[in-house]
Amino acid sequence: MRVRGRCPGCDTDRLLPGRDIDGAPICRDCAGIVRDFFCDRCGFEGLLLGGRLCEHCTLADTLAHLLDDGTGRVAPAFLPLVKVLLEMDRPKSRLIWLRNPNVVRLLRGLATGSIPLSHDGLHQETPWRTVTHLRDLLMDSAVLPRVDRQLLLYQRWLTERLATIEDPEHHRLLRHFATRHQVPRLRATAAKRPLGRSQTNHTKQETTQAGAFLTWLADRGRTVEHCRQADLDAWHTEKPATRRPSQSFLRWCVKTGRTPRLTLPPAAITQDAEPLHRHRRLAILRRVLNDDSLPLRARVAAALVLLYAQPVSRIVRLTIDDITDDETTVTVRLGDPQSPLPQPVAALMRAYTQTRQHTCPTPAAGARNGSSPAVSPGNP
């Protein structure tokens, strides 16, 4: 019933439902088939469904029924969608799609107004795959304005993700972060070029790790407003690669005053060199501690890098105030609380601070005593 072409018996181009003695397709007249296959409405010869209507006319009736706005007519806003669906090839596939209960519910809801005809209205509906396909059709027919597909998929993911967060304060904070920071950023990018999947995947990681940080912080008995530098350092130290996407959320919290002005670790620097293994690191540390030909300042900075894996950009910001010496223990403020220095690194630091105290000029009145950098390469 779907075979069409030129009949070898009468040389007419039409439906070929019959077969000749050789098995070749032929028309109903040449095959002696009494029943006709002409649609009672449009006269098309083909497969007839209930009511002796072709698939195209059956599709038109189905759409008119589903998109009835209550007046017995298709809701005017959906006439372009009906036109696009009727012009597509293979109406059978559209009829199968319209049998889906979720499609029926969505179309009826949109036509009657119980579901808002907007992207935001569709964000609230499920299942997301059905909604995504329907949204694509609505955009293709200009019923809805075109929006970047990856952005829409992220917004769908965000709705489902936020629904899993039980803590109301965490839910509120993450919703504000996503809607006021992430979504505007994605929209600005989409206005210039199509979004890639990697961009939205990274944004999802930012949201996921932001939620993980809030849960982790709550387990330590703290909220974002009372987060300390020690908390931030511990969070990044445990799983630095996995937790790095949370920095977007943390910077947003600092910028908007939701957390104190804390210092985030710098971005990781990748390099082709082999990692510094334990024996090599100890050999360099031994030279730093024993080679008096090296500048004392460089030896102190290198010892802190080798012992505590601190970036040089942080080491050079240390001041005399960050070093405490009670003549028994020497500690340095790399976090909270301060870190004690083992011997002989403590002796090296003590010797350096003593030279700094003897060579630095007396601070001017009103200046904070000892606030000059301790190991900055720019200091004499």
3-state secondary structure of 355: helix
pLDDT, one tens digit per residue, over 354-369 is 887 655 544 433 334 4
Q: What is the pLDDT of residue 56?
A: 94
Element (DSSP H or E) covering residue 123:
helix 119-123
With 60 as the cut, is the pLDDT of residue 39 above it? yes
Model-level pTM greater than 0.85?
A: no
pLDDT at 353 over 60: yes
- Among 50, 77, 112, the domain-final residue is 112
Cβ–Cβ < 8 Å for 339, 330? no
**Which of 200-209, 212-221, 222-231, 328-337 is the least confident region?**
328-337
Same domain, 245 and 322: no
- Which own/partner contact pairs does 120-125 have at CB distance under 8 Å and 24+ positions apart? 123/155, 123/156, 123/159, 124/159
> Does 195 reside within a domain?
yes
Q: How do beta strands 330-332 and 323-325 pair? A: antiparallel
In tens, the pLDDT along 230-261 reads 898 889 887 878 888 999 999 999 999 999 88
- What value does the mean pLDDT take over residues 150-161? 89
The answer to whether residues 236 and 299 belong to one domain is no
Helix (H) or strand (E) holding 250: helix 247-255
Write out pLDDT tens, residues 253-289.
999 999 988 888 775 545 445 566 778 888 888 888 8
CA–CA dist 38, 47 (Å, integer) = 8
Regarding whether 284 and 218 lie in a shared domain, the answer is no
What's the CA gap between 274 and 258, in Å, rounded? 40
- Give a yes or no: residue 334 inside a domain: yes
Residue 191 lies in a domain: yes
16 inside domain: no
Q: Is residue 44 included in any domain, yes or no?
A: yes
Q: How many residues does the chain have?
A: 380
Residue 368: what pLDDT? Answer: 41
- pLDDT at position 275, please? 62
CB 233 within 8 A of CB 335: yes
Domain interval for residue 90: 38-112
For residue 85, pLDDT beyond 80: yes
User: Does residue 92 sit within a domain?
Assistant: yes
Supply the DSSP symbol for 257. Answer: T
**250 and 282 inside one domain:** no
Position 276 scores a pLDDT of: 67
Angstrom distance (rounded) from CA 319 to CA 375: 7
Contact present, 231 and 222 (Cβ < 8 Å): yes
Greater confidence, 4 or 339? 4
d(CA 367, CA 380): 19
* 99 found inside a domain: yes
Which secondary structure element, helix H or strand E, spans residue 230, and what is its range?
A: helix 229-238
**Are residues 300 and 239 located together in one domain of the fold?**
no
Residues 350 and 286 in one domain: yes
DSSP for 335-352, written as a single string: SSSPEEPPTTHHHHHHHH
Shared domain for 301 and 247, answered yes or no, is no
Ranges of beta strands (E only) in the chain are: 4-6, 13-15, 18-19, 25-26, 48-49, 53-54, 323-325, 330-332, 339-340
Of 222, 255, 288, the residue that ends a domain is 255
Total number of domains constituting the chain: 3
Residue 75 lies in a domain: yes
Residue keyed to tokens 């917004």 = 155
Q: To the nearest whole number, what is the mean pLDDT of the chain?
A: 86
What distance in Å separates the CA atoms of residue 14 and residue 18, rounded to the nearest whole number?
Answer: 12
**Bridge partners (DSSP) listed for residue 355:** none
Residue type, 157: W
Q: Which of 112, 128, 156 is the last residue of a domain?
A: 112
User: Does 310 lie in the same domain as 227?
Assistant: no
